[in-house]
Structure 1
């Protein structure tokens, strides 16, 4: 008798914007979707964004990519004018008293409605929301199909849900963001310490899911030709605190004239950082390199990663650097750094007390003067990241998808 093949578990990943996005969360989403697809799941990714551009990171051919945002040319001229006015008010944080709810629905309601209709039409077994806009839309979406809801969070919860400067500036959005969490069957967080932010009724739904770290070919590591370069990688934004690194370098330039500091990334502070470099006369030794598609090459030709960020959800850059044999220097109070790196083992912790820029320069100088210490910390970092192996993290994702016992998770 012919056996009926088992139906594949259908997964629906949801993120509001993915086209040409090169951020850490977008990368994790695609790598996770690819891994689960390779493991036998049927995978779809749903976005809500203008059309015409593909994801920045490569996606398996068998994964369905669905954009549920209506095409603008199918909408009336009146609608398009109103949309531009609405977006202008939104960008300028202008919210009319008593009409904030209406403004929120006008800006975000279509995503929620269309997502609900899409889930009813496609009937996934599990819907997985990445980042707060998708968490809000999925949490408040009303659909009849019995789909398990999972929220995948990729930053410090306090920053994503309480900080008025992040995500949608409408105060209504912040309330809905928080309220949405109650509608999820499971919530993935990056670090054990993030548990404390959540209300008691959500504690049982939490699962600690660090990001996977892919090991680097040992032959590439042994062939690496490292130069006297300190590199920093991250968006040019306040939270990454590149200004502290630039100031720190002003204390280092005279003692280390043959070293250079290179910063990779783009963002809103590019002009301000260029001006700071010029004012401190560091033009020849501190260089803003912009974005790169070959960051692995830069890791292999550098000696140190400086990561002066204020906070991190997890810190993909940190784990990437460790995987490439680089010691990492960062602040002792930076979550996502102090979970991954161990002081004096795989990197150096910079004191958060007093003058942070001078403290950072002191820690960098310690490594720059001691090649043997650089090598020892870099070698130890290769061991540190074994706990974040792709196989271990894939097992956690399968726990989350299946809703199995989430107490047996990797937290150390």
Structure 2
């Protein structure tokens, strides 16, 4: 029976590909005028959401941009949005529609998203149906996806006339084995895969035997923020993020016991919400750190909160490309971070624009924080150089790299379209080390 099932699936896949090849011959001319970006929960709170909003706002200068959110579980967005960017929600869980069919499918787990994908529990058969219908409805334009499950679905389902771009916000090395196997097989069908770090780019080059046409690293840009640059006089250290185990806030609070004993006048403020919040509140109480560690919850204006601090601390077990470090740098804070090779290590030059600490070592983290507290000259030097580093991640500088990538992908598709070979992307990739940034004198294309 299993052998028969495999044969049936294989035959269905061949028919599916043959159908797309027939459609490709009559596909409209390639275009990047319309850009759609798939996101899990556009009204949620998280680094990926904020960076997608930032990118969408930049692209809206020249393109028609729509963010397509799988879920809608909040009435209003947590982060400010550019009014030029359109929004679409595939599964509105505030006002469910779909009748008995939706009720039935929403109770069943997804078959489209890998079970080991970190957000698998957010998907259902109903979201599968809505996502498949949406992706298959597109004939042209650009479709970007922003997490492994959505990248895999895009690679599998997008029609040949659609330019497909996958973004990876989490390091390949941290993905479960099941997801890595699917990535190795399906990502070759994407037109481009964009990583945030050089380390992750290297891992994909080593892992993917057949690669997308373009495999490039484009970092996130510093988003717009309220408030000004920190005066570095406040006796406050701050951390920001979703309160999950991976963020390591329990380690930071443990380290702060040592810091508070040496410098009782200093306060640690941890901004965010999440499933670990109650455990962290209890940890603070048991350690006798009330008044010395504050957990005020999520804030809408992160920039204003960073301005009120002097030190930023990142205690995560691992990170892809932590936007909070960039934001803290742009606010002129002194950075202390665990040394993760897929994010902080690339963003921070140790002893220059921040301090890197051996991961998961509470005592070392406490010692580094105390060092920055006690050495004001060091604190101000680190902060000044952090400001210089943040300028290299300016929105326009990073945006030009996206312009160059989209221009390259469109030019390739147009060549194929003009020669009558159809819009199906070539398997042979472009040079992997080709620069994504265009020369300074090249104007942004108007397509």
TM-score higher than 0.5: yes
In structure 2, the residue corresponding to 1:221 is in which secondary structure? coil
Aligned pair 1:220/2:214, yes or no?
no
Partner of 1:205: 214
Q: TM-score, normalised by structure 1?
A: 0.82
> C-alpha offsets along residues 181-216 of structure 1, whole Å, 9 cap, x if unaligned?
121010000011112322132276211100112587
In structure 2, the residue corresponding to 1:302 is in which secondary structure? coil
Can you give the 5+ residue segments of structure 1 that lack an aligned partner in the other structure?
A: 1-6, 95-103, 165-170
Aligned pair 1:62/2:84, yes or no?
yes
* Count of residues in correspondence between the two structures: 374
1:357 to 321, 345, 362: 362
Change (3 A) 1:58 1:332: closer
Change (3 A) 1:83 1:177: farther
Following the alignment from structure 2 to structure 1, what is the Cα–Cα distance between the partners of residues 396 and 306? 24
Partner of 2:69: 47
Partner of 1:97: none
Partner of 1:183: 189
State the Cα distance separating 1:381 from its structure 2 match.
0.7
Can you give the 5+ residue segments of structure 2 that lack an aligned partner in the other structure?
A: 1-29, 117-122, 410-429, 438-447
Partner of 1:106: 125
- Equivalent residues of 2:336, 2:356 under 8 A apart: yes
Following the alignment from structure 1 to structure 2, what is the Cα–Cα distance between the partners of residues 52 and 290? 17
Following the alignment from structure 1 to structure 2, what is the Cα–Cα distance between the partners of residues 129 and 362? 41
Following the alignment from structure 1 to structure 2, what is the Cα–Cα distance between the partners of residues 271 and 155? 26
Partner of 2:162: 147
Aligned pair 1:398/2:403, yes or no?
yes
Q: Counterparts in 2 of 1:351-390, with a 5 A limit?
A: 351-352=358-359, 356-390=361-395
In structure 2, the residue corresponding to 1:86 is in which secondary structure? coil
Change (3 A) 1:332 1:61: closer
Partner of 2:150: 134
Partner of 1:101: none
Partner of 2:35: 12
2:254 to 244, 247, 256: 247
- Equivalent residues of 1:322, 1:378 under 8 A apart: yes
- Equivalent residues of 1:13, 1:128 under 8 A apart: yes
> C-alpha offsets along residues 90-147 of structure 1, whole Å, 9 cap, x if unaligned?
9xx89xxxxxxxxx98365314421233313xx32x2111222321221111535x11
